[in-house]
Amino acid sequence: MGMAAGQARLLSITARLSDNETNGQSLSYAKQRLADQTEQVNAAYNTALSATKLTVLTNFNGSEANYTDISYGLMTGFESVACGKQYIVTNQKGEILVTNEYARAFEAGNGDFNIFLAELGYTQADLTVNSGSTDEEAKAEALEKIHQAWDKYLTSVGYAYGDAEHDAIGFKFFDDTNKTMFNGYATYTTKNSGTINSGRNAAPAANGDVVGGVGGGDISLTTTRPLNYEGSTREQKELYDYAIAITNQYYSNGKYNPAGSTANVQLVSTDSVDTGYEDYLRNIFNKMSECGYYTEANENDTIRDNTWFEEQLKEGKLLLQYFSASDSAFVSTSISDDDAIQEVEDEKEIARVEAKYNQDIAALEKKDQRIDLELKKLDTEHNALQNEYDSVKSVIEKNVEKSFNIFS
């Protein structure tokens, strides 16, 4: 091999050795990155092994308690939690989170519980007179029930109307002159010759003042007062709402036909709501009235998404309250303090994460094996190049030495 050719060959081998070492270094870095990724996958897997979920006590199978994954519908539903509590969900401002259906019903009622019920397809009226009934006895019983309902409400707000005054106190819900219905009750006096009308047997005037009469003439006064709510307690409001409900059902929201007509009483066909469910709806209605409410625009991605709901609870963005019978109000509770809620190992999530872990580790191991093969190949090539480099270098050194001997 000539001197020039040998030198060129040595330079070529040197370049290839340099590329070989660079590639080897890159593969070593890649192997280090794989090691880092493997460590991250292992850390994520170990964390996932402690994954938990919230569950709620829903029923008992004998003595065994059964729990169901927590959800908005489960927590706020009617008698859906085995402990018997009624729960609501609020934001941090105390506003109750309700469905769009409840919000629309509340807005339609504008503060009227009976309209709220009607919008949801219910009524608290429980009269049994059939539409078009000619059973005068049944009608009389229904009217007496209406009368008694109003007596209870009126007595609760300070008007002492009792059974002894039934003949002196009349109720009038249909205006025979204008053929329209009004929310008013009529009071009147019977003939009282030469007496003074006063106290609860006296007739209120149009402005609500008591009117009395003196002298020898017969006195017969009739007037009306509006049937507006005048109470201040929840019990009084419930008595008022019920009286309004059965009155409206009997007179079918103004469709009552006055005496003398060939038609009969027309009744609302909506079935009365179960007492327990009525209390459940009333509690929600009262909470909406007292503290305000809000809805989620996209219910499918929020209150109907169990994962979203659980995350909001765990992060404290949503809060829980339950109705306390002793306090007659909703009181705060939490996912850690409530006996009906428990946090358990999420077996399904753990199985999912474990499957992903095995998949990720397998992929990383394949990459690692490919890198090892490349490194082995580079190592073999490096050894061959190094041997050739040493051989060519030795030849060049001998040629140089021989040249010096010739010219010395």
In a 3-state reduction of DSSP, which class is residue 277?
helix
**Residue 330: predicted pLDDT:** 95
Residue pair 230/185 in contact (Cβ under 8 Å)? The answer is: no
Give the residue-averaged pLDDT of 206-213: 34
Q: Do residues 33 and 319 lie in contact, with contact meaning Cβ atoms separated by under 8 Å?
A: no
- Bridge partners (DSSP) of residue 87 are 322
The mean pLDDT of 173-197, rounded to a whole number, is: 44
d(CA 198, CA 190): 13
pLDDT bucket at 172, cuts 50 / 70 / 90: low
pLDDT digits (tens, 9 = 90+) for 90-106: 999 999 999 999 999 99
Q: What digits encode the pLDDT tens for the residues 313-363?
A: 989 999 999 999 888 899 999 998 898 998 876 667 767 777 887 888 888
- Residue 334: closest CA among 348, 349, 318: 318
pLDDT band at residue 198 under the 50/70/90 scheme = very low
Report which residue type is found at 372. Answer: D
More confidently predicted of 194 and 370: 370
Interacting residues of 44 by C-beta distance below 8 A, sequence separation 6+ = 353, 357
Provide DSSP, 317-379.
SSEEEEEETTTTEEEEE-TTT-TTEEEEE-HHHHHHHHHHHHHHHHHHHHHHHHHHHHHHHHH
pLDDT band at 288 (very low <50, low <70, confident <90, very high): very high
Instruction: Provide mean pLDDT across the span 191-207.
Output: 34
Given a cut of 70, is residue 283 above it in pLDDT?
yes
pLDDT of 93 reads 94
Determine the pLDDT at residue 98. 97
Give the Å distances, CA to CA, from 296 to 90, 103, 108, 335, 362: 12, 11, 19, 22, 42
Predicted model pTM:
0.62
pLDDT value of position 285: 96
pLDDT tens by residue, 242-267: 988 887 777 664 444 444 333 444 44
In angstroms, what CA-CA distances link 57 with 97, 136, 149, 308, 313?
22, 51, 39, 20, 17
